[in-house]
Structure 1
Amino acid sequence: MALVLRNKVTYLDSSGDLRLQVGPEKENYVVCSKTMERTSAVWKKMLNGGFAESKPLNPESEWIVTLPEDKHEPMLIVLNITHSRFSLVPEKLAPLDLYDILVLAEKYDITELTRPWARHWFNGVRKTKSPLLMWIAWALGDATMFVVTADMLVMRCTVDTDGRLVTPKGWHLDDTRFDALRPHDIIDRIAALRLHLLEDILKPINEILSRLKESTYGCCLLCTMTMLGALVICAANSGLDPIPRSGSEFQGSVMQLVEKLDKLRVVFAHEDKKNVNPLPTAKKVIQEAIKNKEETVPKFYLDRLVKQSKKIGLLE
């Protein structure tokens, strides 16, 4: 049966006894209170715990519960699920829509109710490369996607002038709009690993610069001056002017720094000195630093993700 609209009121149950006013817009949804109570212990306590949301004592008063902090569109999908209106549950969702639904599911402790759709929804957003995939993976227990997305953010996040991490999509990783499904310290961990990698990547380049400036590279002075000048000019042409001395001086991403350093070249005053080119070794050290970086996601996170996956059914 299709949804029934009466004066901008959406009836999830034609005999519903409870009106929900959702979001700042106060979208009106009439629902069955017993259905709400059966599907969620949170709703049961809310509607029967003597709170403002409890049923009015006066039988002639309409029972209205206001939920101003909830978004009305994902709430409608959640209510369609709880009221067994499965034909109205979308088969595909954008990452932000899926995130919003999972926020409500977590808030009202009904994430398990998404089980019939969770795998299909998630498969539909896997290839979007949205940073939100990490929060979605956390809610649904997809350890692989959580790790992949966290690693991507370590490698591709930049920082703004305030030192806040900025995702490849252009929004702040610590945006409070996305606090609901975020592990409490994952942002600090991503920031620390990013900075540590930048330091490791810059170290061999700065060691080369120091040795050239001190004329201790085992070449004649002319070769040393030529190599140093070529290196500095090449770095400037790549957008590194000057070459950062520490990771905190670089606001770009790890990948951006690697790409810039990969363009570095040196020039030799004497052809027979090309075998002392220090850059191949430095670039090998950089690749090893990336390959052997510390794990972004600690084991206790992975354990929690596995438990959540079994609960939701993603491992089946």
Structure 2
Amino acid sequence: MADRKKRCTGSPQTDAVAEFLSAQEATAALQSECLWLLLTYESIRLRDEGLQVDGTQPQASDTLDDQGILTTTSSAADDEADSHTMHDDAAFISPPSAALAFKGASWDCLGDATKSLSCGKAFYFDSRGDLVLKVGEAFHEGGRDFVVCSRTVARWSKVFNAMFFGGFAESISSARDGTWTVALPEDRAAPLFLILAIIHGTHQPIPMGLGRDELFDLLIVTEKYDMTHVLRPWASQWVQNLPLDNYENTTGQYRDVWIAWELGCEASFCKMLNDILWDCRVDDAGQLINVHGVPLSTIPCLEPSSILENISFKRAELIERLINCLRRAMKTSLTMSRCEEELAEIRHCNCSDVNFENRSAFITKEDCDDLFLGSIMRRIREMGLEEFVLPRATFSSYLGSIHDVSDLILLEEVNGHVEGHDSCDLWIVVQIEVKEMVDNLSSPVTETHLEYLRNQAKKTGV
């Protein structure tokens, strides 16, 4: 370049050319620096998300454990030894549609079908394919190349149809040699490989069974591109081999909710939502939290988005009804007498130093009512529910779960304190009412949700 500039000097015209060349060099240097800064930023971003630029796992990554607590795990040999105890809790902190966050699926079920991809070779789903999908550059250096028939893909997906033939940038063949390449950097290669195999009729690599992680990973992609219906021949078998709502930790529970929602597994979805309603609590800020204190609003697997509002409403409604049972029992004890005995011998006191010589060892109806009113108040105080049941100047909301408050009431032992007055204890009535409420727990799943689930079931055949 220096020689070229030297030959161009000596006239105004050649000086102008030299200035132009110098400007080109400066522009190239600036572009190079910008590219370096961009790559540096991308490297930092991927590192913060738990990935290296080459798509491999870093030496140490921060995840949320089964209790929703941030922990640091190693990805060296120790991980392989402890792999059976590790669970993917990334679903707590990023949306299911962003597959970058999900790191649990191994996809060993695809066997040898994807070996050529690891060698950098393109996989041909159609020998006459007119489109190259470059998939997963965020996970694998250079991505994975899938050669497909663009019209086949478009027929099975309205999203891809609009992308390829709707005038978007992806529909333009920009390469000089006329090849058509579309980049899908944030999609994982393995689940998209399985989807493309299904729609191109390449059924050999399709596994007879999928693990929970793989099925979750797959449904992220099918939901993104509106392709859940392509799973119809296999979805019912995959779910049958993988019973939903049979989870070992809360993360598995939330993933199962997403799977049931996308596949249209109505019974499993309703059961799991009832379980979440049964156990959820409220923090000091008024947020719904799970048993480990993790806000439910940060768990994107809980689809649909309106479900948390329903859970919050149903929880508050039932807890208020449970508290009202205790209030009614106190009011009844104050205003009405349940006692039908004239006199009854005291049997509730075991104190050896009590002297009954100068006082009656029998109680009246009024004594009976007072005795059991005091018993109800004592129980409420011992349960820690006094501030929610008794009238106070300031109102307090109960932060525990339906499970917590119902167990406090139902597990309280009822003994016959006074001979002949066993039926006078209103706590028996309270327990009957509470058990009936719990047995008829109102589901947070609405008719709109059920309609969606049934439509999904028609698509998938589950």
The 1-side partners of 2:458 and 2:425 are apart by 54
In structure 2, relative to structure 1, the CA distance for the partners of 1:155 and 1:267 (3 Å cut) is same
Q: Is the 8 A contact 2:273 2:445 kept in 1?
A: yes
What SS class does the counterpart of residue 131 from structure 1 fall into?
A: helix
Residues 1:11 and 2:156 are matched in the alignment: no
Unmatched segments (≥5 aa) in structure 2: 1-111, 248-252, 338-365
The 2-side partners of 1:231 and 1:111 are apart by 53
Bigger CA radius of gyration: 2
Residue of structure 2 aligned with 1:280, choices 428, 434, 450: 428
The 2-side partners of 1:77 and 1:159 are apart by 41
The 5-angstrom pairing of residues 65-76 of structure 1 reads 65-76=182-193
The corresponding residue for 1:132 is: 255
The corresponding residue for 1:51 is: 168
The corresponding residue for 1:108 is: 225
The corresponding residue for 1:263 is: 411
Deviation sequence 1:44-102 (CA, Å, 0-9, x none)? 32123332222424442764433244344433332332343433233333434323322
The 2-side partners of 1:42 and 1:230 are apart by 63
Deviation sequence 1:114-163 (CA, Å, 0-9, x none)? 01111012221324242333332222222222222222222222333433
What SS class does the counterpart of residue 87 from structure 1 fall into?
A: coil
Residues 1:20 and 2:141 are matched in the alignment: no
In structure 2, relative to structure 1, the CA distance for the partners of 1:57 and 1:234 (3 Å cut) is closer
- Cα RMSD between the aligned structures? 3.4
Unmatched segments (≥5 aa) in structure 1: none
The 5-angstrom pairing of residues 120-159 of structure 1 reads 120-123=237-240, 124-129=242-247, 130-159=253-282
Greater mean deviation of Cα atoms: 290-299 or 251-260: 290-299
Q: Is the 8 A contact 2:208 2:238 kept in 1?
A: yes
State the TM-score, normalizing by the size of structure 1: 0.79
Identity value in percent: 25
In structure 2, relative to structure 1, the CA distance for the partners of 1:170 and 1:71 (3 Å cut) is farther
The corresponding residue for 1:195 is: 316
The 1-side partners of 2:266 and 2:436 are apart by 25
The corresponding residue for 2:450 is: 302
The corresponding residue for 2:207 is: 90
What SS class does the counterpart of residue 66 from structure 1 fall into?
A: strand
What SS class does the counterpart of residue 5 from structure 1 fall into?
A: helix
Residue of structure 2 aligned with 1:173, choices 296, 306, 318: 296
Runs of 4+ in 1 over 6 A off after TM superposition: 266-269
Amino acid in the other structure paired with 1:126:
L
Aligned length: 306
In structure 2, relative to structure 1, the CA distance for the partners of 1:85 and 1:250 (3 Å cut) is farther
In structure 2, relative to structure 1, the CA distance for the partners of 1:19 and 1:300 (3 Å cut) is closer
Amino acid in the other structure paired with 1:89:
I
